[in-house]
Every structure is written in C-alpha cells, then in structure tokens.
Amino acid sequence: MNEDTAPIRILVDGDACPVKDEIYKVAWRHEVAVVVVSNAPFRVPVHPLVRRVVVSDGFDAADDWIAGEAGSTCVVVTADILLADRCLKAGAQVLAPNGKPFTANSIGSQIATRAIMADLRAGGDIIGGPAPFSKADRSRFLSALDQALVRLKRS
C-alpha cells in the first residue's frame, strides 16, 4: 500500500503517555486506528481500532518502531523531542500529550533546549522539570488531536 492510500492512524508512544483514554475517544469518533507502542505490556481497550505493539526493552526500540511506521497519514503522540523530529521528517503530524504540536519550524529550538537542559543536569545544576500535567493540557490535547485528524481527512 502506498502512502497515498494508507489509512489514517494515530501512533502512540505509550509507555508514559497520560492521554491514552483521550486518544481512544477521539479515534473512535473519527473511526481512525490507534497503535499504542510500548516496551512493556499494559491494558488497552478491546476494540477493532486499537492495537498494542510491545517491542523489546532495547534502547529506543519503541521510538525506532514508531519512526519506521510514521508517514504523511499518521498523527504521532509523544513527549520525546528526538522521536518527534524523526516523525516530522517522515511527514507525520506530531503532538505532545499537552496538545502542543511539534512543527518543522519549532523542532530545532526544542532540540537545542533539550541539549542545554541535559548539559545543565549533567553538570549538577538543579533545574525544575516540566510543569505538572493539567486539565487545560488535557483539553488542549483533545482539541489538537481532533484538528489534526480533520486536517488529515481533508487532505
């Protein structure tokens, strides 16, 4: 099947995703398949549109699987900036669990910020982590995923 006729799918970096239930609800409403990828098995709904893929616990195994499947008919949900970059390069739309999209225009600065923060942590600097996940993040995510699917259906 070529990219033009491939079905729309949502690929989920599932190990630490806080919005899986929201993804299922939006996917079912749009009748779009969901593939939840993780290093360890966990429960997913028994539904014809939901599939769980458990990869090895090797370094980046889930990321490699997702990046290998990502394409122009996919929405990828991940908080991993480097995975987001790989998926954007494959033509996918990419959303963080807080609903903020990763874009070709923003990913470079996000990767640079990630590297700076890693250097600070490695140097022993005490820095805060991300803000706690909020209801507003959940709401923003629902809206962003719905919009991304509508865009893919129109194209």
- What's residue 155's pLDDT? 84
Q: How many domains does the chain contain in total?
A: 1
Q: List the Cα angle 12/144/2 in 5-degree steps.
A: 55
pLDDT in tens, 131-155: 788 899 999 999 999 999 999 999 8
> pLDDT digit string (tens) for 2-31?
455 689 999 999 988 999 999 999 999 999
Q: Is residue 123 domain-resident? A: yes
Does 3 map to a domain? no
The answer to the question of residue 2 being in a domain is: no
Domain contains 43:
yes
User: Is 4 within the bounds of a domain?
Assistant: no
CA 132, distance to chain mean position in Å, is 18
Give the confidence band of 128 by pLDDT, cuts at 50, 70, 90: low
The answer as to whether 50 is a domain residue is yes
Please indicate whether residue 79 or residue 123 has the higher confidence score (pLDDT). Answer: 79
For the segment 78-113, what is each residue's pLDDT rounded down to a tens digit? 999 999 999 999 999 999 999 999 987 776 566 555
Average pLDDT estimate for 53-57: 94
Question: Which CATH number does the domain housing residue 88 bear?
Answer: 3.40.50
Q: What is the pLDDT of residue 2?
A: 46
Q: Is residue 1 part of a domain?
A: no
Residue 130 lies in a domain: yes
**What range does the domain containing 80 cover?**
9-154
Q: To the nearest 10°, report the CA torsion of 54, 58, 60, 62.
A: 0
DSSP secondary structure letters along 48-116: TTEEEEE--SSTTHHHHHHHHH--TTEEEE-S-HHHHHHHHHTT-EEE-TTSPEE-TTTHHHHHHHHHH
Mean pLDDT along residues 113-142: 74
The distance of Cα 112 from the centroid of its chain, to the nearest Å, equals 20
Residue type (1 letter), 15: D
Residue 1 has what pLDDT? 45
